[in-house]
């Protein structure tokens, strides 16, 4: 199983964002958290900013939309050229139609579930998605503590993905660090979003390598 580490630029220096994105060139993607101060109580990037990040990033963009009315807004991020666009199940009225639209435009389509959202209704829809994101914190702010009680949900998703035989990435986001990534990998995650664990390190590149290695030791 391939292990992917995608640093969240929510923990980067917004004034020196281009430089901070270049510092993570050995990562597997840039995780871009788009928040609208409505779906979650925080406000970050919009399409204009994401377009500029797309233009300067040396690695693919993994855009995570924590916004209301995803059906309306998500396709615009795919049109910017993002490698992957993930929207929240709780914010989409027709997740399957939206995923098909994102794929049609040329992005990978991801669906995310908050900690309190059951995953079972979405497991039968797996062929429609390229990525399933299980939040391991409540979405909205970086630096939160990892929710270990989400691991059964990750394990259930892994079992469904393996049973389906399709290539769906299983991503976790929230509180991922050297002391938690092994648990998430053991449960079946293969794609890991880390913010402060990367950007808070003295050596950013080494932090990414260390996280990848720690996850690899626990993958099945």
Angle at 31 between CA 57 and CA 98, to 5 degrees: 105
Could you list the active site residues?
33, 173
> What's the total number of domains in the chain?
1
Q: What is the mean pLDDT of the chain?
A: 96
Which of 144, 157, 168 lies closest to 1 in space, CA to CA?
168
pLDDT of residue 142: 77
Q: Which domain holds residue 111?
A: 4-216
Cα 139 to Cα 35: distance, rounded to the nearest angstrom = 9
Cα end-to-end span (Å), the chain: 7
- Residues 205 and 145: their CA atoms lie apart, in Å, by 23
Query: What is the SS3 assignment for 28?
Result: coil
**Residue 74 maps to which CATH number?**
3.20.20.70
Query: pLDDT tens, 2-47?
Result: 999 999 999 999 999 999 999 999 999 999 999 999 999 999 999 9
Q: What angle do CA 161, 164, 168 make, to 5 degrees?
A: 40
Q: Cβ(35)–Cβ(197) under 8 Å?
A: no
- Indicate whether 88 pLDDT > 90: yes
Check residue 83 and give left, alpha or beta (phi > 0: left; psi -120 to 50: alpha): alpha
């Amino acid at each position: 199983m391939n292990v992917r580490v995608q640093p969240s630029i929510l923990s980067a220096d917004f004034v020196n964002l281009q430089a901070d994105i270049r510092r993570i060139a050995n990562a597997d993607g840039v995780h871009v958290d788009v928040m609208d101060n409505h779906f979650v109580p925080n406000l970050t990037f919009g399409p204009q900013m994401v377009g500029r990040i797309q233009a300067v990033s040396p690695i693919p963009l993994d855009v995570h939309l924590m916004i209301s009315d995803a059906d309306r807004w998500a396709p615009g991020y795919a049109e910017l050229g993002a490698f992957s666009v993930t929207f929240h199940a709780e914010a989409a009225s027709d997740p399957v139609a939206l995923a098909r639209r994102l794929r049609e435009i040329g992005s990978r389509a991801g669906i995310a579930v908050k900690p309190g959202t059951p995953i079972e209704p979405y497991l039968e829809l797996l062929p429609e998605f390229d990525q399933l994101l299980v939040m391991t914190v409540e979405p909205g702010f970086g630096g939160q503590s990892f929710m270990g009680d989400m691991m059964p949900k990750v394990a259930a998703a892994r079992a469904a993905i393996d049973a389906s035989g399709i290539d769906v990435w299983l991503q976790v986001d929230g509180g991922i660090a050297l002391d938690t990534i092994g648990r998430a990998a053991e449960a079946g995650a293969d794609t890991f979003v880390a913010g402060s664990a990367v950007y808070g390190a003295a050596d950013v590149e080494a932090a990414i390598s260390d996280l990848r290695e720690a996850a690899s030791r626990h993958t099945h």
